[in-house]
Structure 1
Amino acid sequence: MRIIQIIDSLDAGGAERMAVQIANELQIAGHESHICVTRREGLLKKTINDEVGYLFIEKKGKLGIKAMTKLKTYIVKNNIDTVHGHSTSFFTATIIKWWIPSVKLIWHDHYGNAEDLDNRKVGFLRKSSRFFDGIISVNQILKDWSIRNLKPSKVIYLRNFVSNSLEQQLLKPLPGSSGKRIVHLANLRPQKDHTTLIKAFQEVTKNTTGWNLLLVGMDFQDDYARNIKFTIEDLKLDEHIHLLGSREDTIAILKACDLGVLSSKSEGLPVAILEYGLAGLPVVTTDVGACKEVVLGYGKVVPFQDINSLSQAIQEFIANPEEAKSMAHSYQQHVMTTFGAASYIEKLETFYSSL
């Protein structure tokens, strides 16, 4: 098969990571694999395999006819038969399907606000879905929503996966002491609910000493980010909470930490909790999206926006390091077995072939 992934940016987000990982793993599996970035390059560009075909079309505005023509020419030249559009790139992918009806079009729904689907804008997405040959949803809630609201021929739920093919070194020393670092891997977006985590960590600092919280993710310099910084200052946690921004050495950072936390109030299936497992971290996550289904009994799952429950779960791992180590090891094995690349690509190939 000749397949192209389409994604709007290469910022270090979950959908972007999945698009790159799928492109890489399809190439490793022997397919002619390509990836098109429509609007903005980013940190993840360096993680694309050299053998994967790469196209950046620099799309401007809603239609971006010049950019779309560039993409169409690339697809025709490379005899691409399958277009796999991710998240908001469905519009670009739909235009390609309209221009080249012979290609198979898959839309991959990574929607992170799965707990608030009633307010999801569906108008143009529903119209575009008439051109979709299939939809991939990252959790059961999104699959059910697509069946109710959209018009594709096939919808499947395919859980995200992680690839263990990349080794990294820390680009610079991390704040805090070895053995006492908590990491939260998430871009600074409201759904990630950093505020609840910060307030929960304040309680942690009252009962423990020396622990630091590392917030890794893109800072969009907006009101939400400014509120996070204000809360940290207001609670006098400047010496214990560190905003590291978006980093190229994420894997190395995780391996240098001791506990992975996700405090989201809404999710699809976050790649972060899979990466925590791959890095051998014990995990505390909120019960949103597919998080509980992923973590099972290998980590601690708490209600979202519950400061006390989140703080207590973190402190239980800190107070019981042997339990934390044992659960982390079990979770790592679970992630490698259940969410590995080989099984995912086999299921994806079957879905492609069925369309």
Structure 2
Amino acid sequence: MRIIQIIDSLEAGGAERMAVNYANALVKQIDFSGLVVSRKEGPLVCQVDTAVSYLFLNRKGVLDYKALFKLRNYVIANKVTLVHAHGTSFFIAVLLKLIYPKVKIIWHEHYGARANESILNNFILFFSSVCFSSVFVVNHQLQVWVKKKLLVKNVFYIPNFALLDENYPKTTFLKGNQEKRMVCLANLKDPKNHIAVLVAFKEMKLNELGWSLHLIGKDYNDNYSLELKEFIMKNNLDFFIFLYDSKNDIQHILSQATIGILASTTEGFPVTLLEYGLARLPVVSTNVGYCPLIIKDNFSGLLFDPLNNMQLQEQLNKIISSQRLRDSFGLHLHRLVLENYSQDKVIQYLFSRYNSV
């Protein structure tokens, strides 16, 4: 097999992490494993295995012919047979198919909100889907949507997996009391719903109980980010709620945390929950997308409706009030992740789907 992963950027998001994870995992198992980044590099570039063939296209627009033919030449030179396109990178993969029909395309959808969209908002994807040999999705709602809306028959659910790099330099040190740190690992953007966590933190007066909140994720310095910062300042929470931007030493960060939180209003299959599990963190999680299949309520964590702030507060109160519960949740989630979402299991299943294509 000679396969490339294509992704639009290497910002620290879920789809981006999986593109890197696949490229790294496959490099020791197939003849050729490449990673192509079309538009923008980012912090994840440091996590690409040196054995992976890496190409940055620096694509400037929708129809950037220079970037497209650079991709075509790369594919031909390396005798690539299969293009695994993640998220919105499907479009450049389809353009490649038009000028080099020999290659086969798999589209991998990570965006959970797509399952609630109409085909009118996805007409380019609809027509592009005729070029797909197969579609991979990260949850069963997306699988149903693709089968109903797109022109492709072979649609497969592929679970995500996570890796925590123990050898990555430890550069991030969390503030606050050592045993009372909440971490939210998510880029600062919709639909991650950080404001719900901030409101709950403030209304519960968790700072007066010694707790602190740590937001780890890309800060786009936009209106979303500004709203969070203004809320923190207005409520005098500067010494209790901290923003760190994108970070690569995730294992080190999570080793300093007490509780992991995810509050998104929509999700596909959040790698964040797997990373919390590998770190043995007890978790309070949104109940959307694939989350309820990872977080079994009152067993491997606690679930809440992201639009119900009182429910979030109730679950936070439950988890901060009991060390025994936290230990139990963290242990159960750790076991569940190791048993069901390990790299070896997912890659083995991925191979079977590659072979079918």
TM bracket, shorter-chain basis:
over 0.9
Matches within 5 A, 1:39-58: 39-58=39-58
Give the match for residue 304 of structure 2. Answer: 302
Confirm or deny: 8 A CA contact 1:114 1:141 kept in the other structure.
no
Following TM superposition, by how much is the alpha carbon of 1:28 offset from its aligned partner in structure 2, in angstroms? 2.9
Give the match for residue 191 of structure 1. Answer: 191
CA distance in 2, matches of 1:29, 1:327: 35
Corresponding residue SS for 2:3 = strand
Q: What amino acid is the match of 1:148?
A: K
Change beyond 3 A, Cα 1:115–1:134:
closer
Following TM superposition, by how much is the alpha carbon of 1:78 offset from its aligned partner in structure 2, in angstroms? 0.4
CA distance in 1, matches of 2:49, 2:116: 36
Give the match for residue 318 of structure 1. Answer: 320
Corresponding residue SS for 1:288 = coil
Q: What amino acid is the match of 2:349?
A: K
**Equivalent position to 1:330, from 318, 329, 332:** 332
Following TM superposition, by how much is the alpha carbon of 1:91 offset from its aligned partner in structure 2, in angstroms? 0.3
Corresponding residue SS for 1:24 = helix
Following TM superposition, by how much is the alpha carbon of 1:259 offset from its aligned partner in structure 2, in angstroms? 0.5
Confirm or deny: 8 A CA contact 2:119 2:126 kept in the other structure.
no
Is there any run of 5+ residues in structure 2 with no aligned partner, and where? none
TM-score (norm 2): 0.96
Q: What amino acid is the match of 1:88?
A: T
Q: What amino acid is the match of 1:252?
A: H
CA distance in 1, matches of 2:207, 2:227: 25
Q: What amino acid is the match of 1:305?
A: L
Corresponding residue SS for 2:80 = coil
Is there any run of 5+ residues in structure 1 with no aligned partner, and where? none
Name whichever of 243-252 and 114-123 sits farther off.
114-123
Following TM superposition, by how much is the alpha carbon of 1:48 offset from its aligned partner in structure 2, in angstroms? 0.6
- Give the total of aligned pairs: 355
CA distance in 1, matches of 2:306, 2:114: 13
CA distance in 2, matches of 1:220, 1:164: 24
Name whichever of 51-60 and 154-163 sits farther off.
154-163
| Identity value in percent | 38
Q: What amino acid is the match of 1:294?
A: I
Give the match for residue 117 of structure 2. Answer: 117
Q: What amino acid is the match of 1:350?
A: S
Matches within 5 A, 1:159-198: 159-164=159-164, 166-198=166-198
Corresponding residue SS for 2:23 = helix
Following TM superposition, by how much is the alpha carbon of 1:169 offset from its aligned partner in structure 2, in angstroms? 4.1
Q: Could you list the per-position Cα deviations for residues 186-208 of structure 1 after superposition, in whole angstroms to 9, with x for gaps in the alignment?
A: 11112001111101111333585
CA distance in 2, matches of 1:166, 1:28: 20
CA distance in 2, matches of 1:115, 1:260: 26
Matches within 5 A, 1:1-355: 1-114=1-114, 116-118=116-118, 121-164=121-164, 166-206=166-206, 209-296=209-296, 297-355=299-357
Corresponding residue SS for 1:192 = coil
CA distance in 1, matches of 2:182, 2:137: 30
Corresponding residue SS for 1:80 = coil
Following TM superposition, by how much is the alpha carbon of 1:157 offset from its aligned partner in structure 2, in angstroms? 1.1
Following TM superposition, by how much is the alpha carbon of 1:117 offset from its aligned partner in structure 2, in angstroms? 2.4
Change beyond 3 A, Cα 1:295–1:172:
closer
TM-score (norm 1): 0.96
Following TM superposition, by how much is the alpha carbon of 1:234 offset from its aligned partner in structure 2, in angstroms? 2.0
